[in-house]
Amino acid sequence: MPQYLSNELAGTTTGTTTAAATGYRPFASVYGARVKRLRATVTLASQTTSDTILLGTLPTGATFAYGVLTASATLGSSTVAVGISGTAGKYRAAATFTSADTPTLFGTAATVGAASPLAAEENVIATIAAANLPSSGTLVVDLYYSMPN
């Protein structure tokens, strides 16, 4: 029975490789890399659906791992997407968040399984839609990414 390599070990995106190319080494940002956290704490103050919130900047060479969303109060019917300008839901599609004080993981398979690290830094934003955010409370967004050692 063949033993298949992960895409990271094989240097492919097909998932059906049994041997890596001669001399191939996995990206240092995803294999044996250091995980780092970017934290954004936002005071809820009725931010409107026309607002975006800059959460931080992922550096060149980063590989997104996952995010965690935590709020001190339910966000009601407002939706929050996490992404970049032009691709609002790159890291989290617009969705409601109704679980107060419950850390919730997010990340799309396409970005978590990205074949290569970021070629340029990205300003990560939260985009508000459907309804304004609550008038009080705290929203914490943690973005975890890996970088070469």
Which residue has better confidence, 1 or 104? 104
Confidence of residue 12 (pLDDT cuts 50, 70, 90): low
* Residue spans per domain, the chain: 1-26, 33-147
pLDDT tens digits, 119-145: 999 999 999 999 999 999 999 999 999
Quick check: helix, strand or coil at residue 106? Answer: strand
pLDDT one-digit tens code per residue, 36-68: 999 999 999 999 998 999 999 999 999 999 999
Q: From 2.60.120.220, 3.40.50.150, 3.10.200.10, 1.10.10.10, which CATH number describes the 33-147 domain?
A: 2.60.120.220
* Sequence-distant (≥ 6) Cβ neighbours of residue 90 within 8 angstroms: 82, 83, 84, 108, 111
pTM of the model: 0.85
Higher pLDDT, 10 or 80: 80
